[in-house]
């Protein structure tokens, strides 16, 4: 579900979104032209009223409007559409602040690579995705570089905080927005900005957050390079697989369960011997990457929602297990 309405704007660069909506730029746009498509409006807080019917002593009914104490309605300043009802204490972060923070990420400001940007649910949720100029390259991985993004997301309906995220996910819809949330939380690379009214405070926080994220990427890169450098003998690849997808004792399982496990191992082999393992076969890194792909796309799930939750909510556990078993396989010679 993309959750883009007729009043939502969105842009992408070079590659159009899967749903075919929005504007596609041939090259990275300047802030002015990108913002004019994604967020050509600002949120505003307005008093909230409720209608009351009052009956006088003579039985006459009359309508009265009373302001709701402690609550306001956030709305768009272009079409007056209501975005959400929030407490008066809710600090509204306007769309321009989102772009100010995006400019601060690369410090130069004028040549930021805006990858995608837009709004969802009529403007209730907004985002800007920046492609960083220093892509992370895992040495020894012949498949090429990994391109990291930094996402800025905010909600005007009170459903989410103003947050910055280190992510590998290209946000173009509601589903990819949620994936970015889960991915960043799993990696520990989501940053919630304080609800300060001072824009400069937010810019400083963004720069600090990016510095911290780059440090975490450096740590991640070091771990991946260690996995690539850890060679695994062919006979230990089979041992790894038997441990990663274990077979319970025969007296505890049915023939059908036994067959399912054999099938699952064949699916894992398809990952390892396919594109995922190309160029990194015979390494602990190759074993881990094949295990992640198998977990996310092949392992049985009752439905798409179960697969989604397992892939992203339990990913840390799966990766940790695969890394431990792969390193053990590399040490056994």
DSSP string of 27-40?
Answer: SPPPHHHHHHHH--
Q: What is the pLDDT of residue 140?
A: 59
Q: What is the pLDDT of residue 307?
A: 42
Domain boundaries, the chain: 10-42+89-218, 230-331
- Closest residue by Cα to residue 13 from 31, 25, 29: 25
Q: What is the pLDDT of residue 79?
A: 93
Compute the distance between CA of residue 95 and CA of residue 89 in angstroms, rounded to an integer: 19
Compute the distance between CA of residue 49 and CA of residue 65 in angstroms, rounded to an integer: 6
Which mean pLDDT values do the consecutive 10-residue runs of the chain (333 residues) have?
84 82 91 95 94 82 88 95 91 89 72 91 93 64 61 89 80 78 69 66 69 66 82 92 90 88 90 82 88 70 44 54 88 80
Q: What is the pLDDT of residue 43?
A: 96
Residue 137 CB neighbour total at 10 angstroms: 13
- Strand 113-120, strand 125-131: pairing: antiparallel
Q: What is the pLDDT of residue 206?
A: 66
């Amino acid at each position: 579900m993309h959750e883009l309405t007729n009043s939502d704007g969105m842009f992408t660069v070079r590659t159009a979104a899967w749903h075919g909506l929005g504007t596609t730029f041939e090259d990275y746009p300047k802030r002015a032209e990108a913002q004019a498509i994604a967020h050509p409006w600002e949120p505003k807080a307005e008093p909230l009223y409720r209608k009351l019917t009052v009956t006088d002593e003579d039985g006459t009914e009359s309508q009265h409007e009373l302001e709701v104490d402690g609550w306001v309605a956030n709305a768009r300043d272009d079409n007056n559409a209501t975005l959400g009802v929030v407490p008066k204490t809710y600090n509204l972060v306007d769309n321009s602040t989102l772009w100010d923070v995006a400019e601060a990420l690369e410090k130069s400001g004028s040549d930021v690579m805006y990858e995608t940007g837009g709004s969802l649910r009529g403007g209730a949720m907004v985002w800007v995705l920046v492609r960083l100029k220093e892509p992370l390259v895992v040495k020894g991985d012949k498949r090429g570089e990994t391109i990291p993004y930094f996402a800025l997301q905010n909600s005007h309906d009170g459903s989410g905080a103003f947050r910055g995220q280190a992510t590998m996910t290209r946000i173009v819809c509601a589903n990819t927005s949620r994936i970015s949330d889960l991915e960043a939380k799993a990696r520990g690379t989501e940053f919630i900005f304080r609800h300060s009214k001072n824009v400069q405070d937010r810019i400083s926080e963004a720069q600090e957050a990016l510095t911290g994220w780059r440090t975490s990427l450096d740590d991640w890169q070091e771990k991946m390079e260690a996995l690539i450098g850890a060679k695994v003998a062919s006979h230990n690849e089979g041992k790894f697989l038997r441990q990663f997808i274990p077979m319970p004792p025969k007296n505890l399982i049915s023939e059908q369960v036994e067959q399912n496990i054999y099938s699952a191992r064949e699916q894992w082999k398809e990952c390892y011997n396919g594109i995922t393992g190309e160029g990194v076969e015979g390494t602990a890194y190759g074993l881990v990457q094949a295990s992640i792909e198998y977990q996310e796309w092949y392992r049985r799930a009752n439905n798409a929602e179960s697969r989604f939750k397992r892939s992203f909510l339990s990913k840390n556990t799966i990766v940790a297990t695969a890394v431990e078993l792969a390193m053990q396989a590399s040490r056994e010679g």
